[in-house]
Structure 1
């Protein structure tokens, strides 16, 4: 027998280290060449590392959440003596579910974590023996289906966050039914609901301990840094969107079922038309260099919720697109973010962010700024409400618009004036199509 040490290759971004998001193997597992080993996350992408050789896993470089330096040993294999091993190739990154954090630039949070020492079989057994018996223990996993043809079946599609949660609960993902092409948190919830073995004797679902790693940890870090560094203020105004909704319905009737419009592309057009008079809204602030960069173009980030967490794909040069192009762009980017197929250039460079919760939009919001931007807009839900118009009480379709701004850069008067300018365009939708 021989031992082969697999070192973490440069994954193509010039980075010094990457985070272990999820292990797909454990010490003692037998793997074939190209079987999945683990998911490694950088600032912008999660990359699946695969086995360079066939053999037995005898050592791994740390646990989920640990930072591993490029060039350090990731895993050690015990292979057949004389087996030929090719040099580990450079891996080209391919963004997936954990590709984008809610921030364009990394946030310094102290010294870089040191790579963890390799974990061997003896250490693993010793740690298990020392485990505190008072801690909650995940239920035993369900039995796995027998291997086909002597090899374990390929793993079920699921994000690293879903895999980690299933691992903590002791759930075999092969036993979980998925509504779509991959298993999501909702599928795990349904599995827990209908499998009483994963519930406590009192009927309540067992407690879970979820380690904050990967995209969720980066979101937490970046949101905390944004709130620490930026003095936020929020302004809310109500819009009468009755005329706009009537126009939208007419346009959708004209187009039939093809590319039906939501209210979002109309709002984007209104925002782009109003921004030239308020350049401080469409800007980025480098607070270390004390430099504000006003953007001539509108690169609009669209906050999108995915199974892995919040991501912000970007519509570049939104000011140059019409409502139909914007509608197609929003749909394509949202789907790309959800499925992990968004390109790196589609996930960076935003100058202003629009966060919409759709039908869950609520009455008002206080969104957190996507640093280093200086403002974020949040349209709330459209609802019929009684209003006074020309001295008469009428029923109108109303929507609130919330904006949060960086008070170091944007004055309250300017933020309110900008929102009022957008309101005029939205309430008189013909102006949206006037050059």
Structure 2
């Protein structure tokens, strides 16, 4: 696992939150539970970020490099302007997932999408991006509450089924020409419901099911994330089944075109993005290039899972704020080059099902590099808006000078 730690051009204050946006109009307890999610749902100011206006025009001839075909070699230090623009663009798709989600626990549509597919991106200010939403995605929590809980806790607390993201396909000829291929985006929001928080707490590793790891039983992932991805209830399909069905349809429909699949998400959504990408490359043997662009994601799986991802050709760009504690959980990591323990002891430690591995290529940021964020709390450090601001102002590794215009 490689990473690049960056420094920033001088930042402007940008964290003033409008309390009228994305607020919960009901119970104080639900407000506390969803505090960090509400912050993430606020839009970020792209004008405060350094993005070369010509960068977007240079993508078509090198798009596979920006999608990680060479593991982003030479693009992260300093951060390539085209790659910066692409990271921010995919971040907007994640932000749209937050904006579409109904956070109001008093609403009949709580935990669902507020808009129909046909107008979803338009309602989020992305109507001119050249993409069309083709599938809404739902996740089912696998945690089973005791029978007595059905009569003693509010429905919004025990809600186990929620809208978690969407699939969008680029359908604009000009945008396809600019990108050099037809791009498929799968975007996930982060944790929002009580039951999703419970799934997050199921932090021990568990083996992947046989259909997700046909060649080996060693790959293991976090129990709660896998539960959210594979659980179903009644007539409601699992998130996994919905993804497989939609990707199969898309691959057949656009079989004769250059195609890419980009899975992106924040927090819990970043973890689900990694599982989704692995599932696609495992299920569809002739899948196009599959890339994960994750923001503030927790650890997902063990070393064997990482090896399977790398073997399958899945590319993962993990964008991490080193001041964000969510990126340092769950479990702990044993680095091979620093561990002095015997094989016997290391095996015993791994048997605890708490030994994770860092996955993908990391682009490390730091809130402390921005004066107006240096004293930020956990919610601010984990906020999607913070991530997008830091990426937009990133210059290079700490050994390089700031831009002359900074």
| TM-score (structure 2 length as normaliser) | 0.21
Q: Looking at both structures, which has the greater relative contact order when contacts are Cα pairs under 8 Å and sequence separation is at least 6?
A: 2
| TM-score (structure 1 length as normaliser) | 0.20
Structure with more of its chain in strand, by fraction: 1
